[in-house]
């Protein structure tokens, strides 16, 4: 069983610690009611000041509820969002998004957690809030760690560490050591993990931070457990539990109890283990920790099998699989199937054992195949790009060699002439040749730059050596995504796969150029473009929708041709949304023009809710383009991280 992830997580919620101090919560609620009454009595004279005060009170209430009563935490955090937007109070909005991200993470809604933390990072970066930036990057990294996306997790953990070191934030540095330790533990490097956990514990003990100390004991216990040192592991787990009980940290108590139960199981004490697991389950059900409940069911099934209670074990594994599939936790799904295979084998049902083992292998492979397929495509594309660059350089070198030989011949001719006039003509010819060569080189570099950046941005970069990021009030963003790409990719060779994607994306490049919109980037099998930038215009929505219709028409023809030839074909979802974005250049090597903001995230969600062959647009885009197109209303559709979003299918241009 793998209970190290929830065990580590109890330490890593940087801005989401909860102390169940009910008298403080009651006091805050009374204070909030008083502020609301005073605001009504005061009218509008000092509304902003009173709203700001209410935001701070609501934020504290959301913070205190965010572990033990997540529904209340979300309720207060969403009130902060609404009120902060109303008075344009960025700091309150950033805090609310951070809290909503941490709550979503606890609920195992990782997609929503990532969206919220990215919003918090964007706001806190604009405010130059170093403490908030460090916390948000750390929390985002933890979401990726829970998803087993270790490169992304490490990226955000290191950003957090650099910020904390720069501002000399000892508490943040301690958390950073824990983040790094958690990654090393996931990668089975226990020696380095223990080194980082001990360093973090020392800082937290120096600062007297209960939350950090309890987490440190827990994490060190995990390393001892995996090393087979069960007595040392139990000592650390119990020390951690004692602190969590003092602070009424139900999420943390559940994790410590699970880890203590795992030690008892290793020692053959299954009755004691079940007692601890039942105690943990009560806490998890109280706070609706679905991921924890599924993991506890799997752990319980192990003890039940050891005590020959096979039907009870089977029932719990079935529940664990159902919960884990619903929340998208494939790690627990594969672990439950593996346990099921063992259970069937113990019952002598070898045929069913084989079926469950096949399901375990299929789930396990799906976890790695998704990442491997995407990496394969990206590597192949990078290879093709580098190959083209190499061929272009070789062609240029060939031209340079020809020019050099011509120059040498000119020198021989020059030496053969006696007349000074001939010498003058010779040097004039060389000068013109070199000038033409420089012009050709400049033209080539300009063309390459325009392939990467919009013309306006490229000119600014050439003139100033840099290009400033800009807020553009209204643009229209387009996303496409190949449907069932992972499954399709598994049936095609790398060359065939890349050629197929390249064929489609090359057609998309031509279409967006014809309609005057900008390609932003491709990400694996996704294609992103936008209208109304870098120079704002009033036709961006119509331009992008026309381009989208042309893209879907191309894909329809592509499908017909491939089907006629008996070959694999692609179909795409396509989504469009209109709103403000921040646009600018990212990177210093292989830099690119990119855009950020909620508009981009929403466009991606609109695309995910689309259908094959259709152009799916938001109600915002519809408002800008409805006079030019015939559209079919889809009503309000629930999308992850956004709630109910009104959408339309575009049928045709009018």
Q: What is the mean pLDDT of residues 520-539?
A: 88
Statement: residue 435 has pLDDT above 80: no
64 vs 257: which has the higher pLDDT? 257
When pLDDT is cut at 50, 70 and 90, the band that residue 611 belongs to is: very high
3-state secondary structure of 595: strand
Average pLDDT (155-159) is: 87
Top-confidence residue, 201 or 149 = 201
Tokens of 359: 């399901």
- How many helices (H) and strands (E) are present in the chain, helices listed first? 25, 8
Residues whose CB falls within 8 Å of the CB of residue 281, separated by 6 or more in sequence, listed in order: 254, 293, 296, 300
Q: Are 78 and 52 in contact (CB under 8 A)?
A: no
Both tokens of residue 292? 């924890």
Show the tokens assigned to 499: 């050629």
594, β-bridge pairs = 584
Helices within 307-419 (DSSP H only): 310-327, 330-346, 350-416
Q: What is the mean pLDDT of residues 537-561?
A: 93
Higher per-residue pLDDT: 1 or 130 = 130
Q: Is the confidence at residue 541, as pLDDT, over 90?
A: yes
The reported pLDDT for the residue numbered 408 is: 63
Distance CA 557, CA 555 (A): 5
Distance of alpha carbon 343 from alpha carbon 302, whole angstroms: 9
Give the residue, 589 or 564, on which the prediction is more confident. 564
pLDDT at residue 190 in the model: 85
Choice between 23 and 198, residue whose per-residue pLDDT is larger: 198
- How far apart, in whole angstroms, are the C-alpha atoms of residue 536 and residue 540? 8
The two tokens of residue 438 are: 């420089």
Residue 248, Cβ neighbours under 10 Å: how many?
A: 15
Judge whether 537 and 476 are in contact, CB under 8 Å.
Answer: no
Whether the per-residue pLDDT at 22 is higher than 70: the answer is no
Bridge partner residues of 631 (DSSP): 650
Is there a contact between 252 and 10 (Cβ–Cβ < 8 Å)?
Answer: yes
Q: Lowest-confidence range among 508-522, 541-555, 586-600?
A: 586-600
pLDDT at 433 over 60: no
pLDDT reported for residue 324: 86
Between strands 518-523 and 615-618, the pairing is unpaired
Q: Residue 374: pLDDT band by 50, 70, 90 thresholds? A: very low
Do residues 274 and 316 make contact, with C-beta atoms less than 8 angstroms apart?
no
Lowest mean pLDDT among 203-207, 289-293, 454-458, 620-624: 454-458
Between 398 and 616, whose confidence is greater? 616
Q: How far apart are CA 297 and CA 315, in angstroms?
A: 9
The whole-number average pLDDT for the span 359-375 is 60
d(CA 414, CA 420): 10
* pTM beyond 0.75: no
pLDDT band at residue 68 using 50, 70 and 90 as cut-offs: low
Residues 6+ apart with CB under 8 A from 155: 141
Q: How confident is the model at residue 3 (pLDDT cuts 50, 70, 90)?
A: very low
Residue with tokens 């011949």, as numbered in its chain: 409
Of the given ranges (22-36, 194-208, 384-398, 471-485), which has the lowest mean pLDDT? 22-36
Residue 472 C-alpha from the chain's centroid: 24
Range of lowest pLDDT (16-20, 123-127, 500-504)? 16-20
Q: Note every long-range contact of 333-339, with CB atoms under 8 Å and residues 24 or more positions apart, other chains counting.
A: 333/363, 334/360, 334/363, 334/364, 334/367, 335/1, 335/2, 335/298, 336/294, 336/298, 336/301, 337/363, 339/298, 339/301, 339/302, 339/305, 339/313
Report helix angle 350-416 to 494-514, nearest 10.
60
pLDDT band at 251 (very low <50, low <70, confident <90, very high): confident
Q: In sequence order, what are the residues at sequence separation of 6 or more whose Cβ sits closer than 8 angstroms to the Cβ of residue 631? A: 617, 622, 648, 649, 650, 651
Cβ-proximal residues to 226 (8 Å cutoff; 6+ apart), any chain: 4, 185, 190
Quick one: how far is CA 468 from the chain centroid? 25
- Buried b / exposed e over 635-646, threshold 16 CB at 10 Å, is eebebebbeebe
Neighbours of 279 (CB within 10 A): 15
pLDDT at 621: 94
Residue-level pLDDT at 473: 85
CA distance 366 to 285: 30
Helix then strand then coil, % of the chain, to nearest 5: 70, 10, 15
Using DSSP bridges, classify how beta strands 615-618 and 572-586 pair: parallel, antiparallel or unpaired: parallel
In the predicted structure, residue 463 carries a pLDDT above the cut 50: yes
pLDDT band of 15, cuts 50, 70, 90:
very low
- Quick check: bond before 534 cis, omega within 30? yes
Parallel, antiparallel, or unpaired for β 572-586 and 592-596?
A: antiparallel
pLDDT at 38 over 60: no
Give the pLDDT confidence score for residue 380 in this predicted structure.
Answer: 42
pLDDT score at 490: 76
| pLDDT value, residue 452 | 52
What's the rounded Cα separation, in Å, for the pair 397 and 285?
A: 69
Q: Cα angle at 558 between 554 and 562, to 5 degrees?
A: 175
Q: Which residue has the higher pLDDT, 24 or 150?
A: 150
Which carries the bigger pLDDT value, residue 443 or residue 53? 53
pLDDT at 153: 84
Residue 24 reports pLDDT greater than 60: no
Mean pLDDT of the chain: 78
Alpha-carbon distances, residue 425 vs 100, 309, 571 (angstroms):
76, 102, 63
Q: Which of the residue ranges 319-328, 359-368, 478-487, 530-539 would you say has the lowest mean pLDDT?
A: 359-368
pLDDT over 80 at 325, yes or no: yes
Least confident segment among 106-110, 248-252, 370-374, 515-519: 370-374
Torsion sign across C-alpha atoms 346, 349, 354, 355:
negative
Q: Predicted confidence band at 71 (pLDDT cuts at 50, 70, 90)?
A: confident
Decide if pLDDT at 227 tops 60.
yes
Residue 377: pLDDT band by 50, 70, 90 thresholds? very low
Percentage of residues in the chain with pLDDT exceeding 90? Answer: 29
CA quadruple 327, 329, 330, 336: dihedral sign: negative
Give the pLDDT band of residue 461 (cuts 50, 70, 90).
Answer: low
Count of C-beta atoms within a 10 Å radius of residue 605: 23
pLDDT, greater one: 415 or 427: 415
């Amino acid at each position: 069983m793998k209970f190290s992830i929830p065990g580590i997580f109890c330490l890593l919620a940087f801005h989401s610690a909860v102390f169940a101090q009910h008298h403080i919560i009651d006091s805050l609620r009374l204070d909030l009611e008083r502020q609301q009454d005073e605001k009504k009595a005061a009218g509008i004279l000092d509304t902003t000041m009173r709203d700001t005060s209410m935001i701070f009170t609501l934020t504290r209430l959301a913070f205190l509820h965010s572990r033990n009563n997540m529904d209340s935490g979300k309720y207060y955090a969403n009130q902060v969002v609404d009120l902060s937007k109303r008075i344009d109070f960025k700091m309150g909005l950033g805090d609310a998004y951070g809290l909503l991200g941490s709550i979503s993470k606890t609920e195992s809604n990782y997609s929503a957690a990532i969206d919220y933390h990215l919003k918090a990072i964007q706001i806190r970066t604009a405010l130059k809030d170093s403490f908030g930036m460090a916390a948000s990057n750390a929390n985002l990294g933890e979401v990726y760690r829970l998803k087993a996306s270790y490169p992304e997790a490490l990226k955000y953990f290191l950003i957090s560490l650099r910020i904390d070191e720069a501002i000399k934030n000892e508490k943040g540095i301690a958390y950073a050591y824990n983040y790094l330790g958690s990654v090393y533990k996931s990668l089975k490097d226990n020696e380095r993990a223990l080194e980082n956990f001990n360093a973090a514990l020392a800082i937290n003990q120096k600062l007297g931070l209960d939350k950090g100390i309890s987490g440190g004991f827990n994490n060190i216990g995990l390393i001892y457990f995996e090393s087979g040192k069960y007595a040392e592991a139990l000592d650390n787990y119990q020390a951690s539990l004692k602190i969590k009980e003092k602070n009424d940290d139900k999420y943390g108590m559940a994790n410590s109890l699970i880890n203590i139960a795992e030690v008892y199981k290793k020692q053959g004490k299954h009755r004691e283990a079940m007692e601890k697991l039942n105690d943990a389950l009560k806490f998890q059900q109280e706070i609706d920790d679905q991921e924890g409940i599924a993991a506890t069911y799997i752990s319980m099934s192990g003890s039940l099998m050891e005590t020959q209670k096979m039907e009870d074990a089977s029932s719990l594994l079935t529940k664990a699989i159902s919960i884990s599939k619903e929340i998208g936790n494939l790690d627990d799904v594969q672990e439950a199937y593996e346990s099921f295979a063992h259970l069937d084998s113990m019952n002598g049902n070898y045929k069913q054992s084989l079926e469950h083992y096949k399901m375990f292998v299929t789930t396990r492979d799906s976890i790695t195949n998704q990442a491997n397929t995407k990496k394969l495509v990206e590597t192949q594309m990078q290879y093709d790009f580098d190959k083209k660059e190499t061929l272009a350089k070789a062609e240029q070198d060939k031209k340079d060699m020809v020019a050099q030989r011509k120059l040498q011949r000119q020198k021989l001719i020059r030496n053969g002439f006696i007349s000074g006039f001939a010498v003058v003509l010779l040097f004039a010819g060389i000068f013109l040749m070199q000038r033409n060569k420089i012009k050709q080189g400049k033209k080539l570099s300009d063309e390459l730059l325009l392939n990467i950046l919009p013309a306006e941005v490229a000119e600014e970069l050439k003139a100033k050596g840099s290009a400033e990021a800009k807020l553009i009030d209204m643009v229209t963003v387009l996303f496409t995504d190949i449907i069932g790409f992972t499954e399709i990719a598994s049936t095609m060779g790398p060359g065939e796969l890349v050629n197929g994607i390249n064929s489609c994306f090359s057609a998309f490049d031509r279409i967006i150029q014809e309609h005057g919109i900008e390609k932003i980037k491709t990400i694996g099998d996704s294609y992103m473009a936008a209208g109304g930038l870098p120079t704002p215009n009033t036709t961006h929505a119509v331009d992008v929708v026309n381009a989208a219709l042309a893209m879907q028409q191309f894909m329809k023809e592509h499908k017909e041709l491939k089907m006629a030839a008996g070959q694999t074909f692609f179909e795409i979802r396509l989504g469009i949304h209109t709103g403000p974005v921040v646009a600018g250049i990212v990177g210093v090597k292989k830099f690119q023009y990119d855009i950020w903001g909620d508009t981009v995230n929403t466009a991606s969600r609109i695309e995910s809710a689309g259908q094959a062959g259709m152009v799916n647009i938001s109600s915002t885009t519809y408002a800008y383009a409805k006079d030019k197109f015939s559209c079919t209303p889809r009503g309000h559709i629930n999308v992850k991280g956004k709630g109910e979003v009104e959408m339309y299918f575009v049928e045709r241009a009018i």
